[in-house]
């Protein structure tokens, strides 16, 4: 701890503490992990260096995450659009995924992560991609297009009554109609506030939307 | 909560009116800086932290705000506010460093992270709960050791019983005359220096235990409130979409576990889709009657088993008492006989749950949720009734028996129960998980790897904690023993989980489970313990020849006597006043509970009101969005 503490100036450290949800220890650990991603000669000034996306994704915390590309994209401030991350971007990311971040800010960023085409709304394409990420990208694990349609839009085979909700136990019953339930203003897409509204009712969200170094 | 439907309207239609939006955005930043500048430092930091912006933007805002503040304070020219601010900053720094030191004390951060990475949040919650109980026991051990045991060491009497080693299991013999049990504590006032400050053992004993229970009560109440307030939203409506949108567990980072979670989600989605497509089954009258009959039979069977188990425990314990009354023999036979009761109790506690889960399978519940809750309810009834019958035995039979020191006998009984329960817990992970894996992977391949049974394991923890709470009065160092036991259980369970188990296939509603676990810990367990302790302190006559309360009519009489003494000092009149008017007056408690009830009722009404309000606003949004579409169509047509 003592070794790395001297690398971040005291003022900067307290500033980071004020601007993020992280504690001093977490920031120092983040610094250590971040500088390990850099080549040896750049480690001296890790605060100003940028780590390319390919390096960021070697972190064990992100390596297997199906949303890894989106996470990099959302938190990167790189102007060239290569999704590389500076130390501050890295801290921003850890802050949102930390234990003490509020549910509001977590859901805000979750929305941006799930918004694959960055147009500010979750439309059907985003939802399809989201479901694909959840079920895995392999050929055999993807849902058929009819199933996808049903899952997202609530199109049911003829002869079915509308609104027969499936069992609402704590269990395996996943939603067969994302849009019907979360699209409050019925415009066919989910916007940020609708998303936050839905997420706020899931008590598990804050505990599962978490990455700790 | 009420605002967000309005926000929905706002967000949607500000896209339609971009100019307004631009102007608004421009104003917004000025407003923001202004409002941030007027906040207190702590609030400002929190508000800036909560902004969904990049670090650079946040820093910009912060610097603007700071500039604004210095401008303002220069206008005022007040030195004093700066002084105060400086003090506040340094105070906050101090607080930060303090919290960081506590942060470093976070035990097993890495272990918990690994468990979360491989098994997800639901299994993790068991370990978090275990850690929470461990912390509680460490705290209670430190309190008891500090305020009861250390003073006792100063007034220690020599122990002339021999130690053979078997006592570790039975808790009898040598341990009878150690600080482990109630009977060894003195009733004297300890003072090392002549005419110096003295230490009244009676008061120390009763106040330490009493304050510990009050603290426990508050801790439980607050953690329950915390979990409930998190869950209250989810119970108003059950929205399925949220389950899919929030279903990914970002804690899981192990590659294999990720693949597995994806596979599980895939099958779950498919299952639920086919289920929706299926016709909703309508049961005929006969089928319905048959279902109700099976449920009734299963309930009868499980309650009958619980009653039979209680009866067995009761007769066994009465038999056991006769053995004690024969006198303190130290031979092997009688020591083995002492262990029969705890072993039987633990056996019943371990085996009957298997019977219950078999019953649950026979019943064919409609949802797995029902199945889990019914099984947990039955197990809780079983465990609590066994503990209840033991308490009845201790308070009604042991306490009135002619033994020399009944409190120590009870303490020994609880010690043995805790120890044997701990051994059974270790055996449980050996037979339940290790052997099950061997069978599942070599003999019977289609069984596969076992899953970690969260419900059963948590109930075991709650049972162990209940025993410890009951035992605190009779054996003040019991939390220390339970602390060591929980510590070992943590590691054994962790290793067993890593080696033997696979991640759970079903998505558990973790937060809700945690709420029900804390609730179970509070409602039958802690409240039951409080009543047992209450009866012991107020109603039962302490032993004549041992313990700090010897010679008194009840343990509480010590407090009465103390108040009598205090009345003669003018300086401590307020204590007497508080005692007479608040603590021992029925009227005060009557008023207090009335106020509590009124407040609860008011809150309940407010919540109901909010629910209807949300529903109304929701309908309004639908209408407004329709109206807007109409208006835009008309405008478009006119143009």
pLDDT at B224 over 80: yes
Return the structure tokens found at B49. Answer: 């932290």
Whether residues A114 and A83 share a domain: the answer is no
Helix (H) or strand (E) holding B189: strand B189-190
Report pLDDT digits (tens) over A93-142: 999 998 888 888 888 999 999 888 888 888 888 888 888 888 877 666 67
Residues of chain A with pLDDT > 90: what percent? 2
The Cα–Cα gap between B517 and B525 comes to 11
Yes or no, beta carbons of A170 and B508 under 8 Å apart: yes
The 8-class DSSP code of residue B446 comes to: G
Yes or no, beta carbons of A25 and B104 under 8 Å apart: yes
Residue B276 neighbours by CB under 8 Å, 6+ apart:
A150, A156, A160, A164, A166, A176
Residue B583: alpha-carbon gap to chain centroid:
28
pLDDT tier at B235, thresholds 50, 70, 90: very low
Residue B270 vs residue B252, higher pLDDT = B252
Instruction: Return contacts of B212-218, CB within 8 angstroms, 24+ apart.
Output: B212/B140, B212/B143, B212/B144, B212/B472, B213/B530, B213/B533, B216/B136, B216/B140, B216/B469, B216/B526, B217/B526, B217/B530
Yes or no, beta carbons of B234 and A169 under 8 Å apart: no
Q: Is the dihedral of CA B480, B481, B482, B483 positive or negative?
A: positive
Q: What is the structure's pLDDT at A161?
A: 34
Q: What is the structure's pLDDT at B299?
A: 93
User: Which of B95, B103, B225, B246 has the most A C-beta neighbours within 10 Å, making it the best mutation to test the interface with A?
Assistant: B246
- Give the orientation angle of helix B3-16 with respect to helix B18-37, to 10 degrees: 130
Residues of chain B with pLDDT > 70: what percent? 84
Whether residues A10 and A51 share a domain: the answer is yes
On whether the CB atoms of residues A134 and B252 are closer than 8 A, the answer is no
Return the structure tokens found at A38. Answer: 């850099």
Place of tokens 């262990």: B339
Whether residues A159 and A81 share a domain: the answer is no
What is the number of structural domains in chain A?
Answer: 2
Q: What is the structure's pLDDT at B417?
A: 93
Whether residues A75 and A52 share a domain: the answer is yes
Would residue B577 be called left, alpha or beta, if left means φ above 0 and alpha means ψ between -120 and 50 degrees? alpha
pLDDT tier at B559, thresholds 50, 70, 90: confident
CATH number for the domain including A73?
1.10.238.10
Query: Quick check: B621 contacting A, CB < 8 Å?
Result: yes
- Give the orientation angle of helix B201-236 with respect to helix B109-144, to 10 degrees: 140
The helix/strand/coil state of A155 is: coil
Quote the mean pLDDT of chain B.
81
Closest chain A residue to B47 measured between Cα atoms?
Answer: A19
Whether residues A117 and A202 share a domain: the answer is yes
The Cα–Cα gap between A11 and B62 comes to 14
Q: What is the structure's pLDDT at B493?
A: 92
pLDDT tier at B391, thresholds 50, 70, 90: very high
Whether residues A33 and A87 share a domain: the answer is yes
Burial code of B504-523, b = ≥16 C-beta within 10 A, e = fewer? bebbbbbbbbbbbbbebbbe
Whether residues A66 and A136 share a domain: the answer is no
- Sorted by where each begins, the domain ranges of chain B are 2-105, 124-394+406-521
Residue B240 neighbours by CB under 8 Å, 6+ apart:
A165, A166, A168, A173, A174, A175, A176, A177, A181
Residue B18: alpha-carbon gap to chain centroid:
51
Query: Quick check: B623 contacting A, CB < 8 Å?
Result: no
The Cα–Cα gap between B552 and B205 comes to 14
pLDDT tier at B278, thresholds 50, 70, 90: low
Domain boundaries, position A39? 2-97
The Cα–Cα gap between A212 and B51 comes to 20
Residues in chain B: 639
Give the nearest partner residue to B511 out of A18, A19, A204, using CB atoms: A204
pLDDT tier at B9, thresholds 50, 70, 90: very low
The Cα–Cα gap between B130 and B124 comes to 10
The 8-class DSSP code of residue B553 comes to: S
Q: State the average pLDDT over residues A176-180.
A: 63
Yes or no, beta carbons of A204 and B246 under 8 Å apart: yes
Return the structure tokens found at B628. Answer: 């807007």
Burial code of A78-104, b = ≥16 C-beta within 10 A, e = fewer? beeeebbbbbbbbbbbbbbbbeebebe
Residue B229's nearest CA partner among B35, B1, B408 is B1
A143-157, A166-180, B122-136, B548-562: segment of lowest average pLDDT: A166-180
Q: What is the structure's pLDDT at B79?
A: 58
Residue B163: alpha-carbon gap to chain centroid:
38
Q: What is the structure's pLDDT at B465?
A: 94
Whether residues A92 and A28 share a domain: the answer is yes
Q: What is the structure's pLDDT at B368?
A: 66
pTM: 0.77
* Residues of chain B contacting A15 with CB distance shorter than 8 Å: 59
Yes or no, beta carbons of A177 and B241 under 8 Å apart: yes
Closest chain B residue to A107 measured between Cα atoms?
Answer: B246
Report pLDDT digits (tens) over B30-58: 788 888 888 888 888 888 888 888 888 88
The Cα–Cα gap between B383 and B469 comes to 15
Q: What is the structure's pLDDT at A141?
A: 67
Across the A/B interface, how many CB contacts are shorter than 8 Å?
262
ipTM score of complex: 0.77
Q: What is the structure's pLDDT at B544?
A: 86
Domain boundary among A52, A69, A97: A97
Residue B276: alpha-carbon gap to chain centroid:
37
Q: What is the structure's pLDDT at B528?
A: 93
Query: Quick check: B236 contacting A, CB < 8 Å?
Result: yes
Give the nearest partner residue to A178 out of B241, B257, B368, using CB atoms: B241
Return the structure tokens found at B290. Answer: 């048959």
Q: What is the structure's pLDDT at A169?
A: 33
Closest chain A residue to B506 measured between Cα atoms?
Answer: A172
Whether residues A110 and A85 share a domain: the answer is no
Query: Quick check: B233 contacting A, CB < 8 Å?
Result: yes
User: Which of B55, B109, B366, B611 has the most A C-beta neighbours within 10 Å, making it the best mutation to test the interface with A?
Assistant: B55
Q: Is the dihedral of CA B233, B235, B238, B243 positive or negative?
A: positive
Q: Pairing between strand A50-51 and A85-86?
A: antiparallel
pLDDT at B601 over 60: yes
pLDDT tier at B62, thresholds 50, 70, 90: confident
Query: Quick check: A31 contacting B, CB < 8 Å?
Result: no
Residue B463 neighbours by CB under 8 Å, 6+ apart:
B349, B383, B387, B421
Yes or no, beta carbons of B12 and A187 under 8 Å apart: yes
Domain boundary among A40, A68, A97: A97
Q: What is the structure's pLDDT at A205?
A: 80
Interface of A with B in 129-168 (CB under 8 A): 130-131, 133-136, 141, 143, 147, 150-151, 156-157, 160, 164-168
pLDDT tier at B510, thresholds 50, 70, 90: low
Q: State the average pLDDT over residues A191-200.
A: 82
Residue B503's nearest CA partner among B271, B240, B259 is B259
pLDDT at A14 over 70: yes
Helix (H) or strand (E) holding A190: strand A190-191
Query: Quick check: A113 contacting B, CB < 8 Å?
Result: no
Whether residues A83 and A127 share a domain: the answer is no
The Cα–Cα gap between B466 and B471 comes to 9
Q: State the average pLDDT over residues B528-547.
A: 89
Whether residues A138 and A199 share a domain: the answer is yes
Q: What is the structure's pLDDT at B280?
A: 55
* Residues of chain B contacting A155 with CB distance shorter than 8 Å: none
Q: How far is A155 from chain B (nearest CA, A)?
A: 11
Yes or no, beta carbons of A202 and B621 under 8 Å apart: no
Greatest mean pLDDT among B234-248, B391-405, B470-484, B492-506 lies in B470-484
Return the structure tokens found at B355. Answer: 């019977």
The Cα–Cα gap between B188 and B204 comes to 11
Yes or no, beta carbons of B121 and A88 under 8 Å apart: no
Burial code of A115-140, b = ≥16 C-beta within 10 A, e = fewer? bbeeeebbbbebbbbbbbbbbbeeee
pLDDT at B579 over 50: yes
On whether the CB atoms of residues B14 and B46 are closer than 8 A, the answer is no
Please report how many Cα atoms fall inside a 13 Å half-sphere around the Cα of residue A173, on the Cβ side. Answer: 16
pLDDT tier at B61, thresholds 50, 70, 90: confident
Report pLDDT digits (tens) over B65-76: 888 888 877 765
Interface of A with B in 86-105 (CB under 8 A): 88-89, 91-92, 95, 97, 102, 104-105
The 8-class DSSP code of residue B52 comes to: -
Domain boundary among A63, A97, A131: A97
Residue A213: inside a domain, yes or no? no
Return the structure tokens found at B15. Answer: 């896209």
Whether residues A91 and A124 share a domain: the answer is no
Residue A173's nearest CA partner among B115, B123, B214, B509 is B509
């Amino acid at each position: 701890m003592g070794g790395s503490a001297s690398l971040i100036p005291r003022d900067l450290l307290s500033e980071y503490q004020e601007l993020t949800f992280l504690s001093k220890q977490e920031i120092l650990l983040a610094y250590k992990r971040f500088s390990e991603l850099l080549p040896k000669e750049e480690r001296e000034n890790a605060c100003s260096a940028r780590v390319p996306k390919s390096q960021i994704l070697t972190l064990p915390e992100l390596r297997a995450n199906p949303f890894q590309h989106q996470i990099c994209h959302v938190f990167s401030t790189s102007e060239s659009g290569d999704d590389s991350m500076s130390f501050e971007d890295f801290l921003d990311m850890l802050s949102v995924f930390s234990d003490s971040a509020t549910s509001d800010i977590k859901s805000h960023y979750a929305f941006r992560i799930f918004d694959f085409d960055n147009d500010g709304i979750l439309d059907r394409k985003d939802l399809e991609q989201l479901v694909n990420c959840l079920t895995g990208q392999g050929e055999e694990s993807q849902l058929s297009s009819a199933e996808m349609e049903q899952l997202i839009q609530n199109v049911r085979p003829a002869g079915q009554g509308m609104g027969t909700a499936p069992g609402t136990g704590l269990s395996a019953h996943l939603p067969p109609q994302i849009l019907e339930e979360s699209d409050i203003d019925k415009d066919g897409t989910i916007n940020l506030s609708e998303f936050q509204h839905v997420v706020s009712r899931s008590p598990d969200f804050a505990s599962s939307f978490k990455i700790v170094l | 909560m009420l605002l967000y439907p309005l926000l929905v309207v706002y967000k949607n239609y500000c896209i339609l009116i971009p100019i307004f939006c631009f102007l608004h955005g421009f104003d917004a930043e000025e407003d923001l800086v202004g409002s941030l500048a007027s906040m207190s430092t702590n609030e400002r930091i929190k508000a800036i932290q909560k902004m969904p912006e990049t670090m650079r933007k946040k820093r910009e805002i912060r610097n603007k705000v700071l500039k604004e503040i210095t401008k303002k304070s220069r206008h005022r020219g007040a030195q004093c506010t700066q002084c105060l601010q400086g003090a506040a900053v340094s105070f906050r720094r101090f607080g930060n460093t303090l919290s960081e030191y506590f942060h470093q004390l976070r035990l097993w951060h890495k272990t918990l992270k690994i468990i979360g990475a491989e098994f997800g949040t639901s299994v993790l919650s068991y370990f978090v709960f275990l850690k929470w109980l461990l912390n509680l026991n460490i705290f209670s051990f430190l309190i008891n050791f500090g305020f009861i045991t250390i003073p006792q060491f100063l007034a220690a009497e020599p122990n002339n019983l021999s130690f053979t080693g078997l006592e570790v299991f039975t808790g009898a013999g040598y341990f009878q005359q150690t600080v482990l049990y109630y009977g060894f504590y003195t009733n004297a006032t300890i003072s090392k220096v002549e005419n110096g400050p003295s230490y009244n053992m009676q008061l120390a004993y009763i106040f330490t235990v009493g304050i510990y229970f009050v603290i426990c009560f508050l801790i439980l109440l607050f953690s329950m409130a915390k979990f409930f307030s998190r869950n209250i939203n989810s119970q108003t409506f059950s929205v399925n979409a949220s389950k899919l949108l929030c279903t990914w567990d970002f804690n899981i980072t192990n590659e294999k576990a990720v693949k597995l979670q994806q596979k599980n989600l895939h099958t779950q989605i498919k299952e639920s889709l086919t289920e929706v497509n299926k016709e909703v089954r309508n049961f005929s009258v006969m089928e319905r009657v048959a279902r109700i009959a099976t449920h009734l039979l299963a309930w009868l069977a499980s309650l009958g088993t619980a009653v039979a188990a209680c009866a067995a425990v009761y007769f066994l314990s009465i038999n056991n008492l006769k053995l004690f009354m024969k006198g303190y023999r130290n031979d092997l036979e009688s020591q083995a006989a002492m262990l029969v009761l705890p072993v039987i109790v633990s056996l019943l506690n371990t085996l009957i749950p298997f019977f219950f889960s078999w019953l649950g399978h026979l019943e064919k519940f409609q949802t797995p949720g029902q199945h889990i809750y019914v099984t947990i309810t039955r197990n809780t009834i079983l465990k609590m009734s066994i503990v209840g019958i033991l308490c009845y035995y201790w308070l009604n039979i042991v306490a009135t028996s002619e033994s020399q020191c009944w409190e120590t006998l009870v303490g020994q009984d609880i010690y043995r129960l805790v120890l044997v329960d701990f051994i059974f817990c270790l055996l449980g992970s050996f037979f339940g998980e290790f052997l099950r894996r061997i069978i599942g992977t070599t003999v019977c391949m289609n069984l596969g790897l076992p899953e970690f049974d969260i419900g059963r394991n948590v109930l075991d923890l709650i049972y162990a904690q209940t025993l410890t709470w009951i035992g605190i009065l009779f054996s003040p160092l019991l939390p220390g023993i339970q602390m060591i036991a929980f510590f070992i259980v943590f590691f054994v369970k962790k290793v067993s989980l890593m080696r033997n188990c696979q991640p759970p296939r079903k998505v558990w509603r973790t937060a809700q489970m945690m709420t029900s676990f804390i609730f179970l810990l509070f409602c039958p367990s802690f409240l039951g313990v409080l009543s047992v302790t209450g009866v012991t302190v107020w109603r039962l006559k302490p032993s004549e020849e041992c313990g700090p309360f010897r010679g008194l009519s009840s343990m509480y009489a010590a407090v009465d006597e103390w108040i009598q003494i205090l009345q003669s000092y003018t300086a401590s009149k307020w204590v007497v006043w508080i005692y007479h008017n608040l603590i021992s007056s029925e009227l005060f408690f009557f008023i207090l509970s009335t106020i509590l009830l009124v407040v609860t009722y008011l809150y309940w009404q407010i919540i109901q009101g909010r629910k209807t309000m949300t529903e109304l606003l929701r309908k309004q949004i639908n209408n407004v969005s329709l109206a807007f579409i109409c208006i835009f169509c008309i405008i478009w047509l006119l143009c």
